Amino acid sequence: MEAKKRSPLIAIVLSVVIGLMVFALLNGVIRPTEVVVAKVAIAPGTILTEQLVELRTIPMGAKPVDALTKVEDAAGKMLAVGRAPGDLVVQAVLGEIAGAGIPAELPAGHVALAIHVDQASGVAGLLRPGQSVTVIGMLSPDLLKNNPISVVTGPMTDFGVPTLSPTRVAGMPLPTQTPTPTPAPPSSPLARLAVTGLRVLMVPQSFRYEEVPSGASQDQLYSSARTSMSAQEGSVIVLDVPTTKIEVVPGLWTDAASLLAALDEYGSVHLALEPAGGLNLKSSDLVTLNLGDLYEVLNDNRGKK
C-alpha cells in the first residue's frame, strides 16, 4: 500500500513561518541604527564641533544606552575622555557628567593635582598620559626668606592642630595668639626625591613634543614652533597623587598632595620620567642634597690636585 504523499504546500508554509521568526528575532538585534562617533582622534578637553564627529551605522544590539544619535547633540559639548577615530561619543564621556573623565580614573584616596612645568622640568614635553614620574623637590633659602613662615599657637583641636579662631569660654577674654617663628632656613639650596610613582593624567597638547617630518608644510612648521615656544614659557600638567601620609625625612610626615602643592608654590619641582616597570626605591636610598656641602667637597678636591 503506497504511503500517503505529503503536500509540498505544508513544507513551504513551515519554511516561510520559520524564516519570518528568524527575521523578526534578528531584526531586534541587528536592526541598523545611527550613532555619533569620533571622525578623528580627539584629545580630552576638546570642545566638540560637527567637523570632529560623524554618524555611523551599527546594529541596534550594539548601541549603548547613552549613545548620541544626532551630530548636533554633540556640538558644543566638552569631551572629558579622549576618543580615537570611530569611537562612540556617549554621554558618559562628556564633561557635563560629574563622574566622567579624570574623576572616574582616580582610585579612592587619590586626587588630581596640577603643577607648573617648563621644558626642563617637564622632560622636554615627552610626557604622555598614563606614564609614571618621580618628583624632585628643591628649596632655596632665598625663596623661604621671601615667604616667611610662622606658626600661630592657640587652643588645640582633637587632632592637635592649632585653631585660628578660638572661642570665648565662661566670659574669659580670648587668648592672645602669638606667632612662633620657624627655625632659620638652611644657607644652601636643597634637592631631594620627593615622591615616586605618580601617574600622569593630563598633558596639554600645546606642551607635547612633536618631531616635524622632513618636507613638512609651512602650517606644520608654524605649529611646531608655536608648541616649542609654549613649552619654553611653561605649562601645567595634572598628576594622580595619593593623599596617604609619607615620611619625607625621618620624623617628618605629610601627605604627598600637600607636599607637592607647597613645593610648586614656594619651591620648585622637576619631573623625572620613570621606566615602564617603575622604580624600586627604599626610603633609606633617598638622601637630601645640600648644594653648599657639594660645592665645598668639589672645591676642596680641586684644591688638592
Q: What is the pTM of this model?
A: 0.58
What's residue 151's pLDDT? 41
Helices (H), the chain: 8-30, 71-74, 102-105, 141-146, 218-233, 256-266, 291-304
Q: Which residues pair with residue 22 across a beta bridge? A: none
Among 87, 78, 68, residue whose Cα is nearest residue 44:
78
- Which residue in the block uniquely carries the three cell numbers 513551504? 12
pLDDT in tens, 146-162: 665 544 433 433 333 33
- pLDDT at residue number 158: 36
Provide long-range contacts, Cβ within 8 A and 24+ apart, for 259-262: 259/137, 259/194, 259/195, 260/113, 260/115, 260/135, 260/137, 260/194, 260/195, 261/113
Catalogue all structural domains in the chain, each as residue range(s) with its CATH number. Answer: 32-102 (3.90.1210.10), 110-163+177-204+232-304 (no CATH)
CB crowding 68-85: b at 16 or more within 10 Å, else e: beebebbeebebbbbbee
Compute mean pLDDT per 10 residues along the chain, 305 residues long, and list them: 61 76 62 87 86 88 84 86 86 69 82 92 89 91 62 37 36 49 65 89 80 62 54 80 85 90 91 88 77 84 61
pLDDT tens, residue by residue, 5-24: 566 777 777 777 787 776 66
